Structure 1
């Protein structure tokens, strides 16, 4: 019988212990053993290494000098916030948001730049991102030499392992080795990640899925994204590929193929209404959904019909996703939620009508207007997770 690679098993166990300390610390070694199902001997060896590397700290609960206290104080373990610094970013068509965090994911500085980058040359976009990262790092009282990793979250189809952007609605070019470009600019390892994956991890670490090991997230913005979390880890395709939910086929017939984006994408919704001057300008500036919300509240029939049609398509898609994965929670985020009740109610109604009777009540639907900072903080969490998986020594991650 073939056994697992010992080095791989050690790395997996080490990550498991470190993530358990992150999620539940301060925590004792005995509690870590119970949560991870690792032996106390293994936990002791791993935590000793983590203490040597400065990734975790120990502190005592209780004090033998306190009257009435008995025995030794309990030794509790927690992450060392100063072990590393990372930058996370949400890069969208009309804005960029950056955060710097410590090793625990606590935000040290935030920078929001309302800059329209849609379809700019890749060199210009790289310049703007570089300026934003550097400014946010300075605002945190740091320099790039103090930053261990950068993660940029963009919409589109992205290979996590290589940093290649196969396609993105904010870029003119396709198949761009963006990670190599930005790593060279920063002199710091840089990850390129799907923004949907980033906000999924953001919700797992800081948001509506902190209590779960398994969940699904749907992002409804310029692209329709999908994030699947299984046993605390993101599910990715071949080469670490992200999932463009908008490419999902709803109908295939001799007359043509109907994909989800053509029914429920932002462009499909906003393009359904004859554009007056203000509406067209709002779309151009990336504020189409905010303006659409005002029109929906004013009973604009064209937009209400488009919102209901899009909601029905998304509700059907959610039912199919729940049929495949049966997650305990599906979190729906993104700017399309600005459409309000007609859109959200249509999603719920279509979902309830389409989900199999055997799965009724299995998945909780949560609609959350997640802040841009949470998306960026999720990108920082992607970087932190990479660091948690990395071999370390006393001078930092061996990347």
Structure 2
């Protein structure tokens, strides 16, 4: 029988200790041992090494009921100064940037209103460089203090190789965007689908913090899906992960940007809603500018029947997709977020009705459907957590 590689096992144990301290700290060694199923001796050895590296420190010393011979127990926490990273969230019309510490705490942030989708990938990389350098300076730091940059954007994104295969931001030609930004900034850069970055961020400091498995559905210019399975981000066979927005809702239906017809995106994303509004004569032909979708939302909320019908239909379409997701994977929690939920109850009510109508009855009691509002800074912090996770990861998990 083949035994496990000792170096690999040490790396796995180290990762579990770091992640436990990050999630539950300040925490005593005895509690780390209990939560990781490691021996007290192993935990002591790993934490001693982490303290020597400056990754963790003594948060404070407090008397505890389990103190041995009257000695107070030592509580350990993640050292926020151990690393500094930058998160970048790209949309078609703006760039959000946040500088965070090793715990994911925000040090500075900014939003640049730029029509990014009209630019080439090289120009977008230049814009990201300028924004990152400015945000780092706003935090009172120099670039040599930055350990890495995480970039999130919608589309078909290979998070392992850092390539955008298709995106409403960078276009339909494969673009090695992570390498382009890394060359400009001189630091490691990770490129990630924005639904994946939200899933990781929800796991770190959001509604998925207490879960080892859950799904995140993002509703914006595209419909995205991020999956956390056994505490890890699921990427699929090619590093891209699931593409919920391009599941077929209506065979032979409305054309989608991906080249297929009848995709969920064509019926429920901001892009799809604008195209349907144009087709129905509610809007003139135009781009995906935020003021256009906002105006359509306000008309719907004001009671305009045709506009309201579009958002009710979008909610129903997303609800059907979520119910299929639950029936297929049975996650204990599904978190919905994104600007595409701005129509409020007009979209949420038909969404939840469609979920209830199409979910297997035996799964209803075991699945939570939650909504979480994310601002621009939170999206950018989510991008930063992708880089932090890579830093803390053990080699066995280097592709997540």
Structure 2 length normalisation: TM-score? Answer: 0.91
| Secondary structure class of the residue paired with 1:89 | strand
1:161-240, aligned counterparts within 5 Å? 161-240=160-239
Kept in 1: contact 2:122–2:180 (CA 8 A)? no
Following superposition, the deviation at residue 253 of structure 1 comes to 6.3
Structure 1 residues 7 and 265, CA gap change in structure 2 (3 angstroms): same
Which stretch shows the higher mean deviation, 109-118 or 367-376?
367-376
Kept in 2: contact 1:57–1:77 (CA 8 A)? yes
- Cross-structure match for 2:24: 24
Kept in 2: contact 1:269–1:303 (CA 8 A)? no
Following superposition, the deviation at residue 4 of structure 1 comes to 2.6
Query: Aligned match of 1:324 in 300, 318, 328?
Result: 328
Backbone CA RMSD of aligned residues: 2.4
Quick one: distance in 2 between partners of 1:313 and 1:63?
Answer: 55
Deviations 1:247-285 (A, max 9, x none): 102244699952211221222212222499996699553
Quick one: distance in 1 between partners of 2:202 and 2:129?
Answer: 26
Structure 1 residues 134 and 280, CA gap change in structure 2 (3 angstroms): farther
Following superposition, the deviation at residue 234 of structure 1 comes to 0.9
Query: Aligned match of 1:314 in 300, 305, 318?
Result: 318
| Secondary structure class of the residue paired with 1:376 | helix
Query: Aligned match of 2:272 in 256, 268, 287?
Result: 268
Q: How many residues in Structure 1 have an aligned counterpart in Structure 2?
A: 387
| Secondary structure class of the residue paired with 2:350 | helix
Quick one: distance in 1 between partners of 2:340 and 2:61?
Answer: 48
Structure 1 residues 355 and 113, CA gap change in structure 2 (3 angstroms): same
Which stretch shows the higher mean deviation, 234-243 or 120-129?
234-243
| Secondary structure class of the residue paired with 1:249 | coil
Quick one: distance in 2 between partners of 1:314 and 1:133?
Answer: 34
- Cross-structure match for 1:396: none
- Cross-structure match for 2:398: none
Kept in 2: contact 1:88–1:378 (CA 8 A)? yes
Kept in 2: contact 1:199–1:376 (CA 8 A)? no
- Cross-structure match for 2:13: 13
Structure 1 residues 207 and 306, CA gap change in structure 2 (3 angstroms): same
Structure 1 residues 278 and 353, CA gap change in structure 2 (3 angstroms): closer
Quick one: distance in 2 between partners of 1:141 and 1:343?
Answer: 43
Matched, 1:360 2:359: no
- Cross-structure match for 2:123: 124
Deviations 1:286-343 (A, max 9, x none): 2333222211111122221111111111111111111122222111111111122221
Query: Aligned match of 1:305 in 299, 302, 309?
Result: 309
Structure 1 length normalisation: TM-score? Answer: 0.91
Which stretch shows the higher mean deviation, 232-241 or 271-280?
271-280
Quick one: distance in 2 between partners of 1:280 and 1:257?
Answer: 23
Kept in 1: contact 2:253–2:262 (CA 8 A)? no
Quick one: distance in 1 between partners of 2:15 and 2:312?
Answer: 44
User: Structure 1: any 5+ residue segments left out of the alignment?
Assistant: 392-399
| Secondary structure class of the residue paired with 1:82 | coil
- Cross-structure match for 1:112: 111
Quick one: distance in 1 between partners of 2:376 and 2:50?
Answer: 33
Following superposition, the deviation at residue 70 of structure 1 comes to 6.6
Quick one: distance in 2 between partners of 1:346 and 1:126?
Answer: 40
Quick one: distance in 2 between partners of 1:145 and 1:280?
Answer: 49
Quick one: distance in 1 between partners of 2:133 and 2:349?
Answer: 42
Query: Aligned match of 1:373 in 370, 374, 377?
Result: 377
Following superposition, the deviation at residue 133 of structure 1 comes to 0.6
Which stretch shows the higher mean deviation, 229-238 or 85-94?
229-238
Deviations 1:354-386 (A, max 9, x none): 000111122111122211211111111111001
Deviations 1:88-110 (A, max 9, x none): 01110111110001111110001
Quick one: distance in 2 between partners of 1:193 and 1:268?
Answer: 23
